[in-house]
Structure 1
Amino acid sequence: MSTIQNALPYIVIVMAVIVIILLILVIALWKGLNKVEKRYKKLMRGVDNKNLEELIVSELGKIDNAKQIAEQALNTATQVKKEMLECVQKVAIMRYKAFDDVGSDLSYSIALLDGHNDGVVLTGLYGRYDSTCYAKPVDKGISRYELSEEEKCVLDEAIKKAI
């Protein structure tokens, strides 16, 4: 006990130094906490004094809205693509000289087909004294009418074209 009483002033001084160091640490931490709190309040205030949480929620709403619009656009594009198969997409034309007594390539054959190779072959024959036009329907790339060589050629050319 006597050693403890002899060392008591040193223990008190060491304890006082530790308390002073801890007090300095508490003050430094308190100042740091105040800086962090100010930055947090500034962050939460957001842009134009709006709350950051409200800003994030409104932006998430806009993102959801944009996502919905994009899905609608994709559905519309898919529908348009299906409908386009029914439109004329493949066209081929050939001009030729149908008769020997006509001087130029004034006759023609045109194939107009949709995405399913359905459509028509139009032929115009130009002669010196008369002209004649023919329309022959095409179903799945085949005509139920006899086709001339030129008509077969334009039909094959139109079928080969990619959609």
Structure 2
Amino acid sequence: MRDVAVYRYDALEEMTGRLSFSVALINGFGDGIVLTSINGRTETRTYVRVVCGGKGLQPLSPEEEHAVRAARLGIGPEVEPHRVRR
């Protein structure tokens, strides 16, 4: 993996502190994965989505798209919410 970016955010209104995150691990061809962890008060859910050519094989959430775009642009490793445009 050549390009890495972490996008941290508040996924749920009940949880603050930007504990949820999406991590994009992308190679030079735009292929790789996005690992997403959604943190709630009583549970955490983790998802992995495959990325080919900079696009998800499944629809990506806006946060996952931010992470992929930041990784491909070399903005990582950690991206502040205001640094990546939708």
Shorter-chain TM-score category?
0.7 to 0.9
Query: In the comparison of the two structures, how many residue pairs are matched?
Result: 75
Provide TM-score, normalisation by structure 2.
0.82
Secondary structure in 2 aligned to 1:125?
Answer: strand
How far apart are 1:120 and its partner, in Å?
Answer: 0.2
Greater share of residues in strand: 2
Between Structure 1 and Structure 2, whose CA radius of gyration is higher?
Answer: 1
Provide TM-score, normalisation by structure 1.
0.44
Secondary structure in 2 aligned to 1:151?
Answer: helix
Higher relative contact order (CA 8 A, sep 6+): 2
Q: Aligned equivalents of 1:142 and 1:95: distance in 2?
A: 20
The 5-angstrom pairing of residues 111-130 of structure 1 reads: 111-130=24-43
1:156 paired residue among 58, 69, 72: 69
How far apart are 1:161 and its partner, in Å?
Answer: 2.3
How far apart are 1:122 and its partner, in Å?
Answer: 0.5
Partner of 1:90: 3
Partner of 2:81: none
The runs of at least 4 aligned residues of structure 1 exceeding 3 Å deviation read none
The 5-angstrom pairing of residues 6-155 of structure 1 reads: 88-155=1-68
**Which stretches in structure 1 are left out of the alignment for 5+ residues?**
1-87
Greater share of residues in helix: 1
In structure 1, give the amino acid aligned to 2:73: K
Partner of 1:39: none
How far apart are 1:104 and its partner, in Å?
Answer: 1.6
Q: Aligned equivalents of 2:10 and 2:59: distance in 1?
A: 19
Provide the alpha-carbon RMSD of the alignment: 1.3
Q: Aligned equivalents of 2:55 and 2:15: distance in 1?
A: 31
In structure 1, give the amino acid aligned to 2:58: Y
Q: Aligned equivalents of 1:152 and 1:99: distance in 2?
A: 18
